[in-house]
Amino acid sequence: MRQIILASVSPRRKEIFKSFGIKFKAIDSGYEEILQKHLTHEQQVVFLAVGKAKAAAKKFPKAIIVSADTMVLFGSKIIGKPKNIKDAEKMLRSFSGKTQIIMTGVAVLDAQTGQVLTHVEKSSLLFKKLTKADIAEYIKHGKPLDKAGGYNLQGYGFNLIQKIDGDFTNNLGLPMGVVYNFLQQLGIKIN
């Protein structure tokens, strides 16, 4: 079987990938992410995912490379990671009772042939009406500083959300239904 490389060191992406029983090696692609202002949000996440895959393919020229780039949108604004706890609290207050879009660009590259399959997966999250106590409790238990928007859906963060529309794994940064289908299209047998 061909080696599968996950061009990400994200703990969440590795955990998702592992849960599907696929043998893989996770690496840092070394790709420098630079936003291209002329691209739409959809084009941007695909551009970055392909860049990560191509960078990883230089190190693993016979492998199948899986990469992704996720963007959190609130209105038309891209939401990054909070700078500090106060910033995380402010973000969560602004999300209360409102919807965010999670957009992930996926690239699966056959490094031997150069064939690359890409897709943009979108899902939406409707936040509950959050009280000060809800936000304080999440800040205390949720480790908000290393996540876009200051939250994640694993563990305590799930308590912030009223409704999810779309692929749950997309909200964690790697829509595995898409990845699985792409691997099959490239002739990779799973299990």
How many whole angstroms separate alpha carbon 92 and alpha carbon 104? 21
How many whole angstroms separate alpha carbon 186 and alpha carbon 181? 9
Do 100 and 127 form a contact (C-beta atoms < 8 A)?
Answer: yes
Catalytic residue, chosen from 69, 110, 146, 165, is 69
Verify whether residue 87 is a known catalytic residue.
no
State residue 127 phi and psi, 5-degree precision. Answer: -80, 145
State residue 6 phi and psi, 5-degree precision. Answer: -95, 110
Query: What are the beta bridge partners of residue 163?
Result: 126
How many whole angstroms separate alpha carbon 59 and alpha carbon 73? 32
How many whole angstroms separate alpha carbon 168 and alpha carbon 166? 6
Do 99 and 126 form a contact (C-beta atoms < 8 A)?
Answer: yes
Instruction: List Cα–Cα distances, 136 to 116, 130, 143, in angstroms.
Output: 44, 10, 11
The two structure tokens encoding residue 37: 């202002």
Active-site residues, by number, are 69
